[in-house]
Amino acid sequence: MHKRKLGNNLEVSAIGLGCMGMSFAYGPPKDTQEMTALLGAAVDRGVTFFDTAEVYGPFTNEELVGEALAPFRREVVIATKFGFNLSTAVDLRTVRGSRSLDSRPEHIKQAVEGSLKRLKVEAIDLLYQHRVDPEVPIEEVAGAVQELIQAGKVKHFGLSEAGVQTLRRAHAVQPVTALQSEYSLWTRTPEAEVIPTLEELGIGFVPYSPLGRGFLTGKMDATTTFDSADFRTSLPRFTPEALQANQALIDLLARIAQRRQATPAQVAIAWLLAQKPWIVPIPGTTRLDRLEENLAAVAVELLPEDLEDMDSASAKMTIHGARYPERLEEMTGR
């Protein structure tokens, strides 16, 4: 597995593993023993970057990741997140905007103590603010994380779904190692302002949902149904009408995949890797075959003509459906 660097000095595998779906958001939690084996298999295949959060469960995903990766602690980088009020934000389908957020410094420090125990670590490798809290100045958030870094409880500071002005203000207080936001061929909004700002400031980029929550694998169409506990049932892009309307993007990926003897999922990940050398996507999966397919994307070489074809064709497409319902969308880009 190739390595990439986030920020100035956090080296991770070129592709990480998003762990949320193992115990949260995409239907019932998966079997703990099976997920433990999958996490070990990821390490065996060169993955060193794992992503979780206290709200995933809540708590159970951190516990899973902490227990499963304990034997490999010196080999891996674990990222987790704070920032939700867990008394109100335990189900993505019922989150109610800013009322579900809490980034008060005292809450950050309390959250970190819990994450340290669940992850079975002495220091959190990368700590993200999960969503920007409009009630707490970002300078206070950055200052609280800085104190945790000075205390040896956190190594690196990150933000998730933050806007460029917030990034700049936070970075001025405590250098930001990475921004995590949604980015893929069907969510290209970071290209306008965010990516140029990250390049200017020397901040790494960690795209979540690089496969469009499964859509960019080419395995979905208008007839696809989801478990009642799957939060995609609340997302405008996953209505039958939107799934049908966005199939043109899958057709594009399939054409390039055939040309490069790859799968649509591998092309989608390879496209991200080709954008910048400091981009590290974190596709999630609960299946070994999908893990191996995703990791093989590092060997897919997209030529300049491939990238040009993808850019020109996708630029002519209109993506149907918002990526989040309004209550969740308002929590991004602040």
Cite the active site residues: 56
Strand segments (E) across the chain:
3-6, 10-13, 17-18, 49-51, 77-82, 124-129, 154-160, 176-182, 204-208
Cis, peptide link before residue 196, omega less than 30° from 0: no
- Structure tokens given for 271: 């496209």
Residue 78, classified by CB atoms within 10 Å of its CB into exposed (0-12), middle (13-18) or buried (19+), is buried
No. of helices (H) and no. of strands (E), the chain: 12, 9
Q: Both tokens of residue 295?
A: 């990791």
d(CA 41, CA 60): 20
Give the integer Cα–Cα distance in Å for 162 and 280: 17
Do residues 80 and 127 touch, judged by C-beta distance below 8 A? yes
> Helical H runs in 151-261?
164-173, 194-201, 240-245, 247-260
Residue with tokens 């005292």: 106
Of the candidates 188, 183, 177, 153, the one whose C-alpha atom is nearest the C-alpha of residue 282 is 183
